Amino acid sequence: MILFPAMDLKDGQIVRLYKGDFSTAHQVTQNLRATVAAFRAAGAAYVHVVDLDGAKDGWRKNMDMVRTVVQSGLRVQLGGGIRTAADLQEVFDAGVYRAVLGSAAVSNPQLVSDALARWGAEHIAVGVDARNGKVCTDGWVEDSGWDYCEFAHRMELLGVSTLIFTDIDTDGTLHGPAFESLARLQQTVRCRIIASGGVSSNEDLRRLSAMGLYGAIIGKAWYTGAVKLAQAIEAEGTQ
């Protein structure tokens, strides 16, 4: 299982949220390069980056930070505000390895199809962000009405091979991932699934790995010290 340490970017800072609520944003570290270096020292090969300003407002204003992370040699998986082909071109020109389509995948599935044809399934992921089983968009503010499994199946039919499932109610809580929701998703699609939200311990990562998931995102648990990243990569990681 690939382990993705995470960075959420807002107003030029690395922050974390609680259950996706922007009013709870708080800075977790001041040194971008030191944080990236710590990920690399632990053995990580990937990093999951979310431009929260982009996710909410539709345009990315933290790309300089993203480029700095790219220059570290980590493979960057970037989401937040990627809503057009021009956006995709910009992030790939910046050296991003994989772009995550969230709101745009809901409102414009043709963009997903076009992106897959142009850049390939390895470099395109779709974010399935759910609250109470329904996919949410626009920085997790709007309820799309889609059941998360139905939406995931729709994306699979388009050719998507990588899904990032976030249970919004567990994100940033350190209460454990939504194991049952993840299991339901596994039963619905054959896509590679990356779990996001709620990871609180190395034991959570062992359980996710035992489920056969492709990857897991580690956010707040790393910044608080609840997860030992190097230990987890050694035990569970396939970087």
- At 85 the pLDDT is 97
Q: Rounded mean pLDDT of the chain?
A: 92
- At 27 the pLDDT is 81
pLDDT above 70 covers a percentage of the chain that reads 95
Report the pLDDT averaged over residues 136-153. Answer: 89
Q: Can you say whether the dihedral through the CA atoms of 202, 204, 210, 213 is positive or negative? A: negative
- At 21 the pLDDT is 66
pLDDT band, very low/low/confident/very high, at 228 (cuts 50, 70, 90): very high
Measured in whole angstroms, the distance separating CA 26 from the mean position of its chain's CA atoms is 19
Catalytic residue check, 57: no
Q: Which homologous superfamily does the CATH classification assign to the domain defined by 2-236?
A: Aldolase class I (3.20.20.70)
pLDDT of 114 higher than 90? yes
pLDDT of 238 higher than 80? no
pLDDT of 226 higher than 90? yes
DSSP code, position 138: T
- At 239 the pLDDT is 60
Residue-wise pLDDT tens digits, 24-80: 777 878 899 999 999 999 999 999 999 988 776 766 789 999 999 999 999 999 999
Indicate the domain borders of the chain: 2-236
- At 237 the pLDDT is 65
> In which residue are the tokens 């969230």 written?
102
124-131/134-137 β-pairing: antiparallel
Report the pLDDT averaged over residues 206-229. Answer: 95
Cβ contacts of residue 82 below 8 Å, gap of 6+? Answer: 54, 60, 88, 91, 99, 100, 101, 102, 104
Distance of alpha carbon 41 from alpha carbon 56, whole angstroms: 32
What tokens appear for 32 in the block? 């971008």
Exactly one of 51, 53, 87, 129 is catalytic; which is it? Answer: 129
Exactly one of 8, 53, 87, 167 is catalytic; which is it? Answer: 8
Cβ contacts of residue 130 below 8 Å, gap of 6+? Answer: 136, 148, 165, 166, 167, 168, 181
Catalytic residue check, 129: yes
Report the pLDDT averaged over residues 167-182. Answer: 86
